[in-house]
Amino acid sequence: MVNLIWLFLIVVGFIVAAIQGRIELVTEAVFDGAKTGVAVCFGLISILVFWLGIMRIAEDAGLLSKLAVLLRPLVRFLFPSVPANHPAIGYIMSNMSANILGLGNAATPMGIRAMQELQKLNSDKDIASPAMCTLLALNTSSITLIPTTLIAIRMNYHSLNPAEIVGTTLIATIISTAAAIFVDKWYRSKYEKNLR
């Protein structure tokens, strides 16, 4: 559906530019957009490489395992249907740890692996299990201590204080995560009542 919306916008843009006799504006916009995209990507690469390096140092120093220990009771509360020693738990905790540290790109592979492991526990392979829905809700709304990608984008555009969003991001992500957990628990209770 999103592809159709983008296609519609592009076609309308071409038609309007052609009707107005300003097709060169479309060409300029395409090249300016490509140039900006490459510049933003290079800026993001540098900051992501830095933070992934920091994450690797934190992992080697044992910080992530300590964070995982702190998260274990929360994970057990949020994922009661997943056995305590199942590999999915480790991937879920790694995904949550990376998201908390603002490393969404590092969290993605762990989230995919967690979903694959949760699918092995799923009795109905055609419908997402409650645990899978919980992981998706948490991954989407995750509490973020350091929004590295946003800071990198702000640095790319020469913000005077790129890290000033840390406080508001933390508050917003705490609220979004609390809302996600509340809605997930509410729907899970309705789902469990329907099973009885």
Is the pLDDT confidence value at 168 over 90? yes
Burial class (CB in 10 A: 0-12, 13-18, 19+), 192: exposed
Confidence of residue 176 (pLDDT cuts 50, 70, 90): very high
Most confident option among 33-42, 90-99, 181-190: 181-190
Confidence of residue 178 (pLDDT cuts 50, 70, 90): very high
Q: What is the mean pLDDT of the chain?
A: 84
Question: Once rounded to an integer, what is the mean pLDDT over residues 57-75?
Answer: 78
The tens digit of pLDDT for each residue in 114-163 reads 999 999 998 888 888 889 999 999 988 888 888 877 887 788 788 899 88
